[in-house]
Amino acid sequence: MLEGKKIILGVCGSIAAYKSATLVRLLVKAGAHVQVVMTPDATNFITPLTLSTLSKRPVYSEYFKPETGEWNNHVELGLWGDAMIIAPASANTMAKMASGLVDNLLTAVYLSAKCPVYFAPAMDLDMWKHEATQKNIVDLQGFGNVLIPPGSGELASGLHGEGRMAEPEEIVDFLSDDIKKKLPLYNQKILVTAGPTYEAIDPVRFIGNHSSGKMGFALADELASLGADVTLIAGPTAQVSKYQSIKRINITSAADMLQQCLEHFPAVNACVMCAAVADYTPATVSAQKIKKHDGGLNIELKKTTDILKTLGQQKREGQVLVGFALETNNEEQYAIEKLQKKNLDLIVLNSLNDAGAGFKNDTNKVTLIDRDLHKTTFELKNKTEVAHDICIKLIELLKK
């Protein structure tokens, strides 16, 4: 959920500021871009150099750069972020945030921020329990800020109780979960198939196709970025998912894919069948490598089970099933026939007659046709953009 996100990390004057180094490292490891803004007091607890080195960005703590007099633009900083986390959030800074007091760069950035703001308090037990602190927390939440609750344990004073800043790992998990909950496909389980299948002739040779898996992997990544819990069944391909949250199941043959689809389909809200599954497979597979002889070689083929049609027959009310049609002639006619015969909710049509479409390319040109025969045709686009277009339609179908 944090991949590519721009995170403003505010660090206040608190002994818990030492945890900010780990927090920056974890955010960067998760793929986020981190901009640290410190209060002047925070620099007494951890050096800007440490946080700058870990974030790979300059750290700001003053309105002006002393050596040049250049202004650190709090408005630009506030607009830059996709999210702002203030951790540790001291009682002093929370009081300033609650009252709108702006006497340092961090509080100025906070008042300028247009993104969601999270705050992770850190203070001693008596300060945490004080009525003024509790009122400030209520006020901050009333402004729409999100509290990351402190933990309980041994405090710097030697007391034991509430007030410990949440651990960096807990903050990252909290932020990821909260972002995910706000996404349009949160709590949606979606099955995606991608890539080719290889149908064995003997231990060495197989029948396959030219599918690279790029379109299916782009779809899985886009669905994950929109909050879905994605299971990806992938044929032999060199493609790699962007998101560790995607559950990948590697298969080889059409029979393998059928087995995995039947196992996972009942539990999902939607299924996007993007894989190029073989229509035929050898009737018998030689246990030994077939030796080359003079003359030709005849291989008897048998039909594979139509996975898409099988899932269409098993589809329950409310499930959304999406298929793909790669055609070379009478494209729209064949796509509509496939849509109706296999009980699909949406079919994605692409034609090998369109330059830049089809297998192996980084681009695709598609037409979306739903079960009401509403048709949307798109121009040639990068497969990542095509995946986004398909997902927007899928969200629409899931809401019906």
Binding site membership: which residues?
A: 279, 289, 324, 338, 342
Q: How far is CA 355 from CA 16, 149, 211, 329, 352, in A?
A: 58, 55, 16, 14, 7
Give, in degrees to the nearest 5, the angle at Cα 224 between 221 and 230: 100
- For residue 39 the two structure tokens come to 């209060």
Half-sphere exposure (Cβ direction) of 342: Cα atoms closer than 13 Å: 25
CA–CA distance, 328 with 154 (Å, rounded to integer)? 70
Q: Which residues are tagged catalytic?
A: 209
**Which residue in the block uniquely carries the two structure tokens 């960005």?**
57
CB 258 within 8 A of CB 313: no
CA–CA distance, 312 with 278 (Å, rounded to integer)? 18
For the annotated binding site for CTP, the residues are 279, 289, 324, 338, 342
